[in-house]
A and B are shown apart, each in its own frame.
Chain A
Amino acid sequence: MAQSQGWVTRYFKAFCKGFFVAVPVAVTFLDRVACVARVEGASMQPSLNPGGSQSSDVVLLNHWKVRKFEVQRGDIVSLVSPKNPEQKIIKRVIALEGDIVKTIGHKNRYVKVPRGHIWVEGDHHGHSFDSNSFGPVSLGLLHAHATHILWPPERWQKLESVLPPERLPVQSEKESLHGSP
Chain B
Amino acid sequence: MFFPGSLATTLKIECIVEQTYGPWWQSLHRTMLRGILGKTFRLVGYTIQYACIAHCAFEYVGGVVMCSGPSMEPTIQNSDIVCAENLSRHFYGIQRGDIVIAKSPSDPKSNICKRVIGLEGDKILTSRPSDFFKSHNYVPTGHVWLEGDNLQNSTDSRYYGPVPYGLIRGRIFFKKSCS
Contact = CB atoms under 8 A, between A and B. Distances in A.
A83 to B, nearest CB: 4
Interface string B52-86: 11011001000000000000000000000000000
A81 B166 CA distance: 8
B131 interface: no
A31 B52 CA distance: 10
Nearest to A136: B105
A24 B49 contact: yes
B142 A116 contact: no
Interface stretch (B1-9, B19-27, B106-114, B122-130): B106-114
Describe B's contact surface by its main secondary structure.
mixed
* Range, interface on chain B: 20 to 34
Interface string A80-99: 11111110000000000000
B52 A27 contact: yes
A84 B56 contact: no
Give chain A's interface residue range (CB within 8 Å of chain B).
Answer: 20 to 34
B51 interface: yes
B106 A141 contact: no
B105 A116 contact: yes
A80 B164 contact: yes
A116 B167 contact: no
A179 interface: no
Contacts of A32: 55
Contacts of B143: 82
Nearest to A116: B106
B108 A140 contact: yes
Contacts of A137: 164
Contact of A85 (B106, B107, B165): B165
A116 B107 contact: yes
Interface of A: 20-21, 23-25, 27-29, 31-32, 68-69, 80-86, 114-117, 137-142
Given A24-B53, A28-B52, A137-B164, 13 more contacts: A21-B49, A25-B49, A68-B109, A80-B164, A80-B166, A81-B166, A82-B143, A85-B92, A85-B165, A116-B108, A138-B103, A138-B105, A140-B108
21 contacts: A25-B48, A27-B55, A27-B56, A68-B109, A80-B166, A82-B143, A82-B166, A85-B164, A115-B106, A115-B107, A116-B104, A116-B105, A116-B106, A116-B108, A117-B105, A137-B164, A138-B103, A138-B106, A138-B167, A140-B167, A141-B167
A-B CB proximity, top 4 nearest: A80-B166, A140-B103, A116-B106, A140-B108
